[in-house]
Structure 1
Amino acid sequence: MGFAEEHQKWLAYHKKIRTGERLDRLERGHSHGEKMFVERVWWPIFGHLDDLHPEYEVLDWRGRPYFVDLVWKPGQVKFAVEIKGYGPHVQHTDRTRYRQELNRETYLQIAGYRVVSVPYDDLESTPELTISLFKSLLIPYLLKNADGVRSQYTRLERDILRMAARSNGLIRPVDLVKELGVNPRTIRKFMKQLCEKGKFRPVPAEGSNRICRYEYIHSLLDNEIW
């Protein structure tokens, strides 16, 4: 599945597990800016939406609920991402609300979150800048788990992933058989395993259900796998 399908599936899951104000906030709050960030920045970096939570509820210093645009929680790491539009955050027409917002961001830092503010305008005009900054920000946290990530893959799986990284995003089992000198049945077995691990998506041939190609799903940590 591509981004649109995964995004819809991801939202449906979070709506299913929420009720009341949490559900209402998700339906109202996850709008154009948040979706644009997920599509133009998060998806190109990770290729999945695992551990990413939309309109995530936290309590502020007064014990009142506050909803962060997006929270990423892979294990003990916690990042709070806020999409900042120009009008409400620069003109400061509501000074009380602006002060509260700054205090909440400080409190999030106290609560263990790394707070990242993303300019809405950059998502529209230069998402590649935001991608570059996010990669630099996240890679130290991801590299801490690099050995664990590498151990999840066999030598043959790493060879397949290395070939896929050199391809144009699509790879054929017949090319893997030829390049790696492995039995076709073995390739089919390992491609199925890599699909289950989220590294490939099968691409049916046009007009049939036969799988002739696989779409490679890039990850920020792929260079650490091999």
Structure 2
Amino acid sequence: MIVEIKGYSAHVRDMDRNRYCEELNRETFLQGLGFRVVSFAYDDVASRPELCITLLRILLSRYGTVQASSPLDRADKEIILLACQLARPIRPKDVEVNLDLNSRTAVRYLKSLCSKGWFQPIASAKGIKTMQYRLEQRNLDDFGW
């Protein structure tokens, strides 16, 4: 993977049609060689680094390794990826809608991920029912996500 940080002036404002074509051809050539080219705006890196980190984690999650002690199936990975994309505690309804699952299956997956240490349940204000699940950051750090 190639990660580029592009400044506005050097890559957009000062670019004529010929340089624009060359830039696109260069990226296509690199992708043809098997590299994935990921570009970030310098302004985002400087002023919103948390956004860039989250986006990189989402991209890198496709290449993450899995611990032998707590294997993750495809749905588990998709739920973790969804939680990264949402960047907030996830609700069973989020899992239902985004993975096209019924409510019981969504809750079952979330509880399973809690038992594997990936999520922490968050109780409702009355403390009676679990309404949301918080992704455990330490797991993402352990896997480089």
Q: Higher relative contact order at CA 8 Å, sep ≥6: structure 1 or structure 2?
A: 2
Q: Could you say which structure has the larger radius of gyration? A: 1
The TM-score, its normalising length taken from structure 1, stands at 0.32
The TM-score, its normalising length taken from structure 2, stands at 0.49
